[in-house]
Structure 1
Amino acid sequence: MSRKLIFPLYYAAILFQAGAYGLTFMLPRLYDGFGANEKVVGTTLLLTTVATVVTVYFSGHLSDLMGRLRTLGMACVAISAALMLYATADGVGPGLMAASVLLGFGWGLTYSLGPIVMSRLVRADERVRYFTLLSVFVMGGFGFAPVIASALENAGFAVRDAFALNSVLCLISAALFFGLDRPIRLQAVNARPEAPSRITRAAVRGVLRSPARLPVFMVFLGASIFAGLNNFQTVFADARGLDYAWFFTTYTLTSVIFRLVMARFTGGPNPYLTIALLQCLMCVGLGLFVVSGDSLPLYLLVAVLFGLGYGVSYPVLVAMAADDADEELGAQTLQLFALTYFIGIFGFPLVAGWMIVEVGTRPLLILITALAVLETGLALRRGLARRNGVPRRA
């Protein structure tokens, strides 16, 4: 199989399974049908967090044993089972608990191993471009899954039908990953056997001593911001009399279009300053959302600014994690990057759900904005240090 065919098939597999995470944005709506509130959503996603953390820690062990592509295929089967359990649940109980665990297991593997597989196919100077394209397909799945769910609801279907549809798509992803195993091994830029991927305490210490510790922490902040804004966007929209589909459509199109525009952009001479500039737009958008009320034009502007700020800066941050990593710890660095990402993605909704029920949505949005300001400040600090000639490992 040629490289020209491998890349679109791999990206298609990523796209089909990425919708599973986008459907977690619909959990408040699904749970509302059971009479459960946002606290329950956050609590069940805590199970997903625990499953994800454990899975990411052992993902290297699994991929060393089974191979990375076969592990990705197995992960998609687990995600498919999770989505079908959500689709058939009739209340909060063991089925939803099992679905939450399976989702964490599957996403922990796909998200941590996906960029590692990509890094075997491209040269170091191509990473930003190909990681950006990879993130386009991830974002396409993230963002359009809620829009498809909204369209199904408007057509008279139930939100659970969107979960069933994506369950089938995840099985297609699994088949693609299994089928790409041998072609990707043959087309690897570095023909040597894959380096061990398992995370050990020594590897963790090595990553935390490297410059990559900053993007590893920054992605946790960004994931918390993303989860706080998106997982409960249906709640924010309903409270303001707005249609959440407008937000997800605008955010996703902005992210996808500008990621494609920047696909050949390498981050500039100082990528951290680029990240800081983009995240300033994110801070403006979040601050605007705090005060925008029920204005649809401002709602769309918030989505555009968040798409530009978070959506476009994220793939550059992934590339920085890979570039800042010690060469022998590249796989472990990307796995720890994924680990902190998932702690934010699935852990922060527990805080957000509690805040919505106990103190309301406005204090939650203020907290999210404060986290964005902190992340922007960290990127700016590293960028200024690089510009002033501070050694790379500082």
Structure 2
Amino acid sequence: MVPPSSSRAAAVSTATAPAPAPGERSAVGLVAVLGALTAVAPLATDMYVPGFPAMGDALGASSSAVQLTMTAFLAGLVVGQLLIGPLSDGLGRRRLLISGSAGFVLFSLVCAVAPNVGLLTGARFLQGVAGAAGMVLARAVLTDRFHGAELPRHFAVLSQVMGVAPIAAPVLGGVILSVSAWRAVFAVLAVLGGLLLFAVVRGVPESLPPERRQSGGFVNTFRAMGTLLGRRAFMGYVLVVAFVAAALFSYISGSSFVFENLHGVSSTTYSLIFATNAVGMLLAGAVFSRLAGRGVRLNTLLTAGVGVVLSGALGQVLVVLSLGESLVGTWVTLFVTAAGIGLVFPSGMSIGQAVGRMAPGAASALLGGLQFLFGALASPLVGLFGEDSSLPMALIMLVAAAGAGLALLGLARPWQGQGEPASV
């Protein structure tokens, strides 16, 4: 998704508008490929969810064993990002990106033909490790390639992709399952991975030349990650993004139960509610892109985003405590929360990558790895604390939002202005 053009530019006819410069065209193509790489993991996470019952029957596995295949994939995403990101600072981005894309195709095919749930679980873990390459290296390539106001604008595109992909994934999976068996989902993922492999080979040049790479082998490469872990401000921004991701994953895992079971809406109506909230995220991302392009401080936008997330989560708790289970109240407060998330992700990732520019791959690994780790830890908590009220989901989201606020004020300290384009 390319950020919208200005109203004045839109008024110029396509016949007379100047064509973009070759460098601009190549940048658009590069960001498009990186955005697609970012979408792979969310698609692979959720596309096969509608086929869980059929998978259990075909493989003779329990529902918990089938659900473990998703946990294995998320674990692979975390491990893969934490390994591949730092390695890319020493080896370069392109060869790891090509290897990861090829591995994703291979392990998707293994998933498609797995004869039992044990092999499927192992293949899903390795599929997650391979798929992590696209996510972690997309952010690193952007940091290598773009600077100044361009960087947050392109990070907004990746964030919007991350907002759309989880919504589209179950829908695509449902369409595939309506005409074929669950194994076809992994075959489609293999095809998508093959197309992305081709796009990477053709459209993603090496962005980290040898003279800019970490020297001293793997030890020094991972030592750079240790250095980042010890930087207060950097870890503050990482934890802001991670806690907000925990709120998002709690919403994703609990909202269908809240709306369909407690409020009695149909699956179609729930899809509409979920899509509406996703639009809120996309609109917030577009607002971020526009304001960042006009010189508004990234730290200001991040602080505003955390405040909106916290307000939405607190409002949800207050609605439940004062009004009980209110469909409209829950929908509105979740929309507000989703809009805040749409501000936090692009601003937090932009600042985090800028502050960690000394080792962009390691910085990307920590930003992405902890994001999925916190999300994976938060997701099962919603069901663990009861299914007769929406209060558990609301409280978990509020705690996560409060954690983001504490990390912002106590560690990131946005008033110090770190990571702003002018300071990089």
Q: TM-score range by the shorter chain?
A: 0.7 to 0.9
Give the whole-Å Cα distance in 2 for the aligned partners of 1:245 and 1:151: 14
Partner of 2:291: helix, strand, or coil? Answer: coil
Q: Does 1:4 align with 2:24?
A: yes
The residue correspondences of 1:287-306 to structure 2 (distance < 5 A) are 287=317, 293=325, 295=327, 297-298=328-329, 300-306=331-337
Decide whether the 8 Å contact of 1:20 with 1:83 is kept in 2.
Answer: no
Aligned residue in 2 for 1:178: 201
Q: How much is the aligned-residue C-alpha RMSD, in angstroms? A: 3.8
Render the CA deviation track for 1:300-358: whole Å, top value 9, x for unaligned: 53553233011221110111212333x4234322222222112123344454565568x
Aligned residue in 2 for 1:311: 342
Q: Does 1:337 align with 2:367?
A: yes
Give the whole-Å Cα distance in 2 for the aligned partners of 1:178 and 1:171: 11
Change (3 A) 1:390 1:132: closer
Aligned residue in 1 for 2:252: 230
Where in structure 1 are there 5+ consecutive unaligned residues? none
Of 353, 363, 384, the residue aligned with 2:392 is 363
Partner of 2:296: helix, strand, or coil? Answer: coil
The residue correspondences of 1:84-103 to structure 2 (distance < 5 A) are 84=109, 93-103=117-127
Of 324, 336, 342, the residue aligned with 2:355 is 324
Q: TM-score, normalised by structure 1?
A: 0.79
Q: Does 1:263 align with 2:289?
A: yes
Give the whole-Å Cα distance in 1 for the aligned partners of 2:255 and 2:187: 22
Counting matched residue pairs gives: 380
Change (3 A) 1:152 1:66: same
Decide whether the 8 Å contact of 2:108 with 2:186 is kept in 1.
Answer: yes
The residue correspondences of 1:143-158 to structure 2 (distance < 5 A) are 143-150=167-174
Partner of 1:123: helix, strand, or coil? Answer: coil
Q: CA deviation at 1:180?
A: 2.2
Aligned residue in 1 for 2:277: 251
Of 182, 197, 204, the residue aligned with 2:226 is 204
Render the CA deviation track for 1:5-42: whole Å, top value 9, x for unaligned: 33333333344441541452455543233277775466
4+ long deviations beyond 6 Å:
35-38, 389-392
Decide whether the 8 Å contact of 1:79 with 1:167 is kept in 2.
Answer: yes
The residue correspondences of 1:5-154 to structure 2 (distance < 5 A) are 5-17=25-37, 18-25=39-46, 29-33=50-54, 34=56, 39-40=64-65, 43-60=68-85, 62-63=87-88, 67-84=92-109, 93-150=117-174
Partner of 2:233: helix, strand, or coil? Answer: coil
| Higher Rg | 2
Decide whether the 8 Å contact of 1:73 with 1:173 is kept in 2.
Answer: no
Q: TM-score, normalised by structure 2?
A: 0.74
Aligned residue in 2 for 1:283: 313
Render the CA deviation track for 1:168-203: whole Å, top value 9, x for unaligned: 222211211121243x54xx8xx7744229642454
Aligned residue in 1 for 2:16: none
Partner of 2:289: helix, strand, or coil? Answer: coil
Render the CA deviation track for 1:211-237: whole Å, top value 9, x for unaligned: 101012222222222222214544444
